[in-house]
Amino acid sequence: MSDAIKTLSGYPAADFIGDRVRSYAGLIHPDDAALVRQATGEAAANKRPYAIDCRIFHQEGSGRSPARSRGRMCA
């Protein structure tokens, strides 16, 4: 988790480490959640990186922010 999450969500990166305070998945708009789960599931199964566009909720309740979620699944 990078410090850019603070700009995107309003929450500090430390909140997300080990899902200590909150999880990134908890910020994803419900209409996008299934697509994100599918993309990350396929990435894990194929041991490949993923990139997906989704909307997340901001701490201030200012609506949905568009986000490009990228990552790789670690063994």
- The answer on pLDDT for 72 being more than 80 is no
Domain count, the chain: 1
* Cα–Cα distance, 8 to 70 (Å, whole number): 14
**Cβ neighbours around 50 below 10 Å, total:** 18
Task: Show the domain range for 22.
Answer: 4-71
- The answer on pLDDT for 71 being more than 90 is no
Q: What is the pLDDT of residues 15-52, one digit of tens each?
A: 988 877 888 888 898 999 999 999 988 988 988 898 88
- Nearest CA to 66 among 32, 22, 15? 32
- Nearest CA to 33 among 2, 69, 75? 69
- The CATH number assigned to the domain holding 14 equals 3.30.450.20
C-beta of residue 27 within 8 angstroms of C-beta of residue 57: yes
Residues shown for the chain: 75
Q: Count CA atoms within 13 Å of residue 43 on its CB side.
A: 18
